[in-house]
Amino acid sequence: QVQLEESGPGLMQPSETLSLTCTVSGFSLTSNGVGWVRQPLGKGLVWMGTIWAGGSTNYNSAVQSRLSISRDTSKSQVFLKMNSLQPEDTGTYYCARPRRGYFDYWGQGVMVTVSS
């Protein structure tokens, strides 16, 4: 069955670079994309960006200058890297499988805290 699982460090310092991994199973990254969505603590969902099956990417302009999404199809992994972290980047980060822009399967999320 389709599964996505996020992993990464739980605590980061301001100005550091966040690196998260989404490991997928039950589908191929060569025929499916993966998107990243974050949720600040107690707030709503915010789409960050998507890497599509062909390898192209789209980013939310709000974070585009700091964000990079890449993948290793042989390992069924998608990577998020975001630099210049600030406390307002604290929240839960989800990866999800996109279908023309909506998301049909989600991971359970990984909590990231940015604090000195």
Partner 1 sequence: DVQMTQSPYNLAASPGESVSINCKASKSISKYLAWYQQKPGKANKLLIYDGSTLQSGIPSRFSGSGSGTDFTLTIRSLEPEDFGLYYCQQHNEYPFTFGSGTKLEIK
Q: What CA–CA distance (Å, rounded) separates 85 from 82?
A: 7
- Looking up tokens 């599509």, which residue turns up? 52
Is 44 a binding residue for partner 1 by CB under 8 A? The answer is yes
Is 25 a binding residue for partner 1 by CB under 8 A? The answer is no
Is 93 a binding residue for partner 1 by CB under 8 A? The answer is no
Question: Which residues are 78's β-sheet partners?
Answer: 22, 71
52 to 91, contacts with partner 1 by CB under 8 A? 58, 60-62
User: What's the min distance (Å) between Cβ of 101 and partner 1?
Assistant: 3
Q: Is 53 in a helix, a strand, or coil?
A: coil
* Nearer residue to partner 1 within complex by CB, 12 or 35: 35
- In the set 19, 32, 106, 111, which binds partner 1 (CB under 8 A)? 106
Looking at residue 65, the DSSP 8-state letter turns out to be T
- Looking up tokens 């993966």, which residue turns up? 34
CA-derived radius of gyration, the chain: 13
Neighbours of 102 (CB within 10 A): 9
- In the set 72, 101, 113, 115, which binds partner 1 (CB under 8 A)? 101
With contacts defined by CB under 8 A, name the span among 15-23, 66-74, 78-86, 94-102 that binds partner 1: 94-102
Residue type, 17: T
Catalog residues that contact partner 1 under the rule CB under 8 A.
Answer: 43-47, 58, 60-62, 94, 96, 99-108
